[in-house]
Chain A
């Protein structure tokens, strides 16, 4: 049973590795991924050879829930990812739902214990559990940089540490992605390996896709991470994340995350959920800390 619970945990970690710093907690090891600074470069077009090519138009939009939801709908018009069920929780068409307003009213800002909103955490049957969570965060980087962090985050390994009751390791690697047919801005394919030594190994593939929501606008973005094919362990795996420049501070971003997993609980629903929630909280801290660096 324990094995089954742990397996369920692993699945989530694939989507969002955590990195608590305290001793004995699961840890995430940063990979050496190049990060480069961003420098302003005003006056570009007047300093270089003029040519006759005009710069792209601007498309500024008010930083509202309505424009956020309209942007999500724009992206979903071309998206091939199955996320409609999750998106419907926060956007009713172009209208923000009460849940979205609630999430945005109290985003996690790196202080205290992060607590996701429990939308639906139930046993579907003896061996299957559904976990549906949501949370919002105010992140200390611009929305573009926050979005780009999704790629880096996707392959950060996870290690519960040897002190864990059942040591668990997760690792990821990027595979050659399928052709982008215009359904998203950038697409990745991530292979996830989960191992509990001596007990099981599990491998799944996930599509990670990044979207611009509005043309010529860089305040609204979203990312989706979806399971390519169900496995014995994982029936559904969706991580939706939307990004909006913080209306109160353009140097920050409000991110909104929906996590939805249907997984094999192996008759250990309660235990699996408890462990899962611990992981989510650790992951929220990890995400926040990544954006600070």
Chain B
């Protein structure tokens, strides 16, 4: 299970972000990005999506368990500030269409590593909010198999794409720190370059992974939250969710959702491109770890 945590945290690193302008940000299809309208987001939020079972990742029982128990756990650990984000993936009828769409385009090591731009906008004060999602279909029979992996080591080497660069270092790791968390990781992110521009963009987060049932390792949820927000010059917040879900045929889905509040960056389009590129690169860099662990 420790590997699950490590993998998840590493993947969530993608939430990193760069620099700078007030815009409704556009897509970059060549990166495999798909943007969703605000209306679609509101639809997902309101739970109006139909309870269809078409496109389910692994079947109704497991997905229903993940959604029902996921919310229970979030409430039990008093992380209700994640509920609105969680509801983009799970509503009271089960997994949302957004979840299904992410799973349907999951990176499996052969296809395009897609990143879905769920929402992106800036206000006149260059407060930019980006919500991105992506999924990976790992050749692992159970999220627990991630225990042996040290995904963060990959991130120490840095992610580089489109003249952008990000590095993440694990500051500390604590097993069973309490509040149901099976592992707590403190991570320091540094987005050092954005399309050739050198940035000083750092973020410190706490990443916790939870079992939804102590007897089950086939479904996990990880929550990542920014620390020291008041000290940050670049962010006014960050939240991330990673859902780990055992699938058939010895495969596991990892579904990521990152919600970033960036400030003082006057070129949000550049920021968005950088983020998308690095999220895609993250998937490509991480995947060999899964195949090695197989």
State the A residues within 8 Å of B (CB).
36-42, 44-45, 47-56, 58, 144-145, 147-148, 151, 174, 176-188, 212, 215-216, 218
State the B residues within 8 Å of A (CB).
19-24, 26, 38, 41-42, 45, 81, 84-85, 87-88, 119, 121-127, 129, 131, 192-194, 196-200, 229, 233, 236-237, 239, 259, 261, 263-264, 266-267, 269
> In the bound complex, what is the Cα–Cα distance between A48 and B88 (angstroms)?
11
> In the bound complex, what is the Cα–Cα distance between A186 and B20 (angstroms)?
9
> In the bound complex, what is the Cα–Cα distance between A56 and B266 (angstroms)?
13
Partner of A148, one of B21, B38, B121, B129: B21
Whether the Cβ atoms of A188 and B264 lie closer than 8 Å is no
In the complex with contacts A180-B192, A216-B125, A51-B237 CB distance below 8 A:
yes
Closest residue on chain A to residue B263 by CB atoms: A56
Q: In the complex, how many angstroms separate the beta carbon of B132 from the nearest chain A beta carbon? A: 13
> In the bound complex, what is the Cα–Cα distance between A182 and B190 (angstroms)?
12
Whether the Cβ atoms of A56 and B192 lie closer than 8 Å is no
In the complex with contacts A179-B198, A218-B125, A48-B41 CB distance below 8 A:
yes
Q: In the complex, how many angstroms separate the beta carbon of A221 from the nearest chain B beta carbon? A: 8
Chain A residues with Cβ below 8 Å from B23 are 36-39, 41
Whether the Cβ atoms of B22 and A148 lie closer than 8 Å is no
> In the bound complex, what is the Cα–Cα distance between A47 and B43 (angstroms)?
11
Closest residue on chain B to residue A221 by CB atoms: B266
Most chain B beta-carbon contacts within 10 A, residue among A36, A48, A49, A185? A49
Whether the Cβ atoms of A179 and B24 lie closer than 8 Å is no
Q: In the complex, how many angstroms separate the beta carbon of A184 from the nearest chain B beta carbon? A: 8
Closest residue on chain B to residue A215 by CB atoms: B264
Q: In the complex, how many angstroms separate the beta carbon of B282 from the nearest chain A beta carbon? A: 21
Partner of B19, one of A48, A174, A185, A218: A185
Chain A residues with Cβ below 8 Å from B264 are 56, 185, 212, 215-216
Whether the Cβ atoms of B19 and A55 lie closer than 8 Å is no
Chain B residues with Cβ below 8 Å from A176 are 193, 196
Whether the Cβ atoms of A177 and B266 lie closer than 8 Å is no
Q: In the complex, how many angstroms separate the beta carbon of A49 from the nearest chain B beta carbon? A: 4
Chain B residues with Cβ below 8 Å from A49 are 41, 45, 84-85, 87-88, 131, 259
Whether the Cβ atoms of B198 and A38 lie closer than 8 Å is no
Partner of A36, one of B26, B85, B88, B127: B26
Given A41-B24, A51-B81, 16 additional A-B pairs, CB 8 A = A38-B21, A39-B24, A41-B121, A45-B123, A45-B129, A56-B236, A144-B22, A148-B267, A176-B196, A177-B193, A179-B192, A180-B200, A185-B19, A186-B194, A188-B198, A218-B125
Whether the Cβ atoms of B81 and A52 lie closer than 8 Å is yes
Partner of B199, one of A38, A47, A180, A216: A180
Partner of A177, one of B45, B129, B198: B198
Whether the Cβ atoms of B198 and A51 lie closer than 8 Å is no
Q: Which 4 A-B pairs have the closest CB atoms?
A: A53-B237, A56-B263, A49-B84, A180-B198
Q: In the complex, how many angstroms separate the beta carbon of B187 from the nearest chain A beta carbon? A: 18
> In the bound complex, what is the Cα–Cα distance between A180 and B164 (angstroms)?
13
Chain A residues with Cβ below 8 Å from B267 are 148
Whether the Cβ atoms of A40 and B198 lie closer than 8 Å is no
In the complex with contacts A42-B123, A148-B267, A55-B198 CB distance below 8 A:
no
Q: In the complex, how many angstroms separate the beta carbon of B168 from the nearest chain A beta carbon? A: 16
Q: In the complex, how many angstroms separate the beta carbon of B130 from the nearest chain A beta carbon? A: 10
Closest residue on chain A to residue B202 by CB atoms: A182
> In the bound complex, what is the Cα–Cα distance between A50 and B229 (angstroms)?
17
Chain B residues with Cβ below 8 Å from A40 are 22, 124
Q: In the complex, how many angstroms separate the beta carbon of A272 from the nearest chain B beta carbon? A: 33
Whether the Cβ atoms of A53 and B41 lie closer than 8 Å is no
Chain A residues with Cβ below 8 Å from B129 are 44-45, 48
Whether the Cβ atoms of A144 and B197 lie closer than 8 Å is no
Chain B residues with Cβ below 8 Å from A184 are 200
Whether the Cβ atoms of B127 and A186 lie closer than 8 Å is no
Whether the Cβ atoms of B124 and A47 lie closer than 8 Å is no
In the complex with contacts A40-B22, A148-B266, A55-B200 CB distance below 8 A:
no
Closest residue on chain B to residue A189 by CB atoms: B198
> In the bound complex, what is the Cα–Cα distance between A215 and B126 (angstroms)?
12
Partner of A147, one of B122, B229, B266: B266
